[in-house]
Structure 1
Amino acid sequence: MANLAENAIKTTDIPRFRRGFRFQWEPAQSGHVLLYPEGMVKLNESAGAILGEIDGQRCVQDIVAELEAAFPQTGALEADVIEFLDHARQQHWIELS
């Protein structure tokens, strides 16, 4: 279990897209997508909202605060954001510093 804890995303981590990945709105898909050399991932609204906050400068805590301000009716979002960012990291879409 120690290995899982060491790899856990922390609120002080700064996510950024991996080289070759580009996040954008795609009118043909009517949604946000993540483009990479081998293809494209169509994102749902929640994933698009989270990835849209990644700028390579702000930490997870700042991203969560921005999302909670934008979507106040949803309540505390930290656990959901971290869970999604962990998924995005496992898919090799993002990396953390």
Structure 2
Amino acid sequence: MVKAGAAPHWRPRLAPAVVLRHDRVRGADLLVMPERVVVLTGHAGTVLGLCDGERDVRGIVGDLGARFPGSPVATDVPVFLGRMRAEGWLR
């Protein structure tokens, strides 16, 4: 179980059975799994798109901080990634 947020040195990547896709009809990013589809809201797809196993959490936060200055990415993103990991969607 993840407590407050993701460890800064963790290099998140999508779980093997999870695919990030953009649905043009819905205008939304989706997580597609064998028996489930999750419709992502806000910038969740942008955050998950950076989870390539190469960047660590600090790198993802830094990238997003540059893209969205003034946004609370340093606090919100690690918590979001921790929840996605707890769901089993990130490794």
Normalising by structure 1, what TM-score?
0.84
Aligned partner of 2:39 among 37, 42, 66: 42
**Higher strand residue share:** 1
Looking at structure 1, the residues matched to 46 and 2 of structure 2 have their Cα atoms a distance apart, in angstroms, of 26
Identity of matched residues, %? 30
CA contact (8 A) 2:5 2:80 kept: no
SS of 1:32's partner is strand
Change (3 A) 1:30 1:62: same
Partner of 1:89: 85
**1:59-78 alignment to 2 at 5 Å?**
59-74=56-71, 76-78=72-74
CA contact (8 A) 2:5 2:79 kept: no
Looking at structure 1, the residues matched to 39 and 2 of structure 2 have their Cα atoms a distance apart, in angstroms, of 29
- Distance apart, 1:49 and its partner CA: 1.9
1:80 is aligned to 2:83: no
**Higher helix residue share:** 1
Aligned partner of 1:23 among 20, 24, 32: 20
Gaps of 5+ in 1: none
Aligned length: 91
Gaps of 5+ in 2: none
Looking at structure 2, the residues matched to 24 and 50 of structure 1 have their Cα atoms a distance apart, in angstroms, of 13
Normalising by structure 2, what TM-score?
0.89
- Distance apart, 1:4 and its partner CA: 6.2
